[in-house]
A and B are shown apart, each in its own frame.
Chain A
Amino acid sequence: MSRAQALILIGAGSLGLAALLAPPAATAHHSFAMFDHVNRITLAGTVTRFEWTNPHVYIELDVPDGKGGAKHYSIECASVNVLMRTGWKFTDVHKGDTVKLLVNPLKDGSAGGMLETATFADGRTLGDSNPPGGVFER
């Protein structure tokens, strides 16, 4: 057996162990490693655009900077399909709504992130994906 074959066998073994510990994850649309799942931020602002689309729903948000201006953020949500199964409706967010979003920001520091929970203008709060805890089905 070559070294490479041995490595593959070891790899298969560790994959098997991982599978025993937790069910293997099916393929998501993309890796979520670009988002910071630890240092979460809360953004309260005004919706400038709501895209009810796949592969992801997007909320474009102007967040007041406290100096009379605003900083714009692009927030990626789960897919239409996952949001619908989580209880969202396409009418839950409108342009001009005031919303509060708990977000996993982009690690590169640019003004974007992935949604964790959204509090809508009517006060309801819904999660973005299920289940919570950094395991994503999107």
Chain B
Amino acid sequence: MPAVSSSAFGPSVIRRYLPCLAALAMLAMGFAPPASRAGAKSPPDITGDWMVYPSRGKGGPPDPKLVAPQPTPLLLTPKYAGPYEAKRAAERESDKRGEPLANDSTKCIPNGMPQMMFPIYPLEILQTHGQVTIIAEAMSQVRRIFMDQPQTRIEDTPPTYFGHSVGHWEGDTLVVDTVGVKEDVLGYRDVPHSDRMRIKERLHLVAPDILHDQITIEDPIVLQKPWTFTFAYRRSPGYQMLEYVCDNNREYVDDKGVTRMKLQNH
């Protein structure tokens, strides 16, 4: 007689433990966390401090396999293309004259999205229950990515510097959708945007300590087609983020929009 039919595992025993077995089976099939159900690994650990990669003059020559790929062509709609080029030309000219035009950063206004993701100072990423939080050391900027939540409609989203971000993991990639960035927040390379802008991000580790954020800007009013660029970061283990409060800004903007430095006599 096979061992399974011995008294220890006889029909009465199975009957006695059937509810438990059923519960275990249900747990395994239907009530386990989504990652386990899909058989996928848990999300990668991107918690920690990150610096834009490569950093100029630091860390030696960059590894071509790890640097961010080139942006796709930027194609603005006719209404925005002319003024954008004119502004860039004016900035180049004013710099040549030694009278740089002011920008929001000069006025200690936060970069906002997406420029916050391309910082000169470190970024800190925190993965907590239901949320990924990204803190930029420069100007102590904070953005919150609400995980596994539906996105709000653009027309219902109040305009803010960092917008309203929702995210989810697709395998090893953190996919983020952001709407509701204030129209006067300038984008990467100072590209303007409308209140219809949507920012799509895909963050993934291309090496254990190199993170890429592929950003696609969709804006049917300003852009003829979506514009994609990527930022790369290197993990900075052991770094401790510093405070940054812009409370002694001695740069000011004169009546011609030129950046000046306030001199103090004593």
A residues with a Cβ closer than 8 A to B are 2, 4-5, 7-9, 11-13, 15-16, 19-20, 22-34, 36, 48-49, 51, 53-56, 58, 60, 72, 74, 76, 79-82, 84, 106-108, 110-112, 130-131, 133, 135, 137-138
Instruction: Say yes or no: A30 contacts B100, CB within 8 Å.
Output: yes
Some 27 contacts from A to B, beta carbons below 8 A apart, are A4-B81, A4-B82, A8-B74, A11-B74, A11-B85, A11-B88, A12-B74, A19-B71, A23-B54, A25-B120, A27-B105, A29-B105, A29-B108, A31-B106, A33-B100, A34-B259, A51-B248, A53-B248, A55-B248, A55-B251, A58-B248, A72-B265, A81-B138, A130-B57, A131-B58, A137-B55, A137-B120
Whether, in the assembled complex, B95 has its beta carbon less than 8 Å from a beta carbon of chain A, the answer is yes
Interface string of B242-253 (1 = CB under 8 A from A): 101111111100
Per the bound structure, the CA–CA distance linking A23 and B88 in Å amounts to 19
Bound CA–CA A49/B251 (angstroms): 18
Q: Does B218 touch A at the CB level, under 8 Å?
A: no
Q: Which residues of chain A have C-beta atoms less than 8 A from B100's C-beta?
A: 30-34
Could you say which of B58, B70, B119, B224 contacts A19, with CB atoms under 8 Å apart? B70
CB-nearest residue of chain A to B54: A23
* Chain B 199-252 residues near chain A, CB threshold 8 A: 224, 242, 244-251
| Beta-carbon contact of B85 and A108 below 8 Å | no
CA distance A129 to B242 in the complex (A): 17
Known: A11-B88, A72-B266, A135-B57. A5 touches B78 (CB 8 A): yes
- Which of A49, A76, A79, A111 is close to B244, meaning CB atoms less than 8 Å apart? A79
Neighbouring A residues of B57 by C-beta, 8 Å: 130-131, 133, 135
| Residues in B46-87 with C-beta less than 8 Å from chain A | 52, 54-58, 62, 67, 70-71, 73-76, 78, 81-82, 84-85
Q: Does B115 contact A (CB under 8 A)?
A: yes
Rounded to whole angstroms, the CA-CA distance of A60 and B99 in the bound complex is: 23
A79–B138 CA distance with the chains assembled, in angstroms: 10
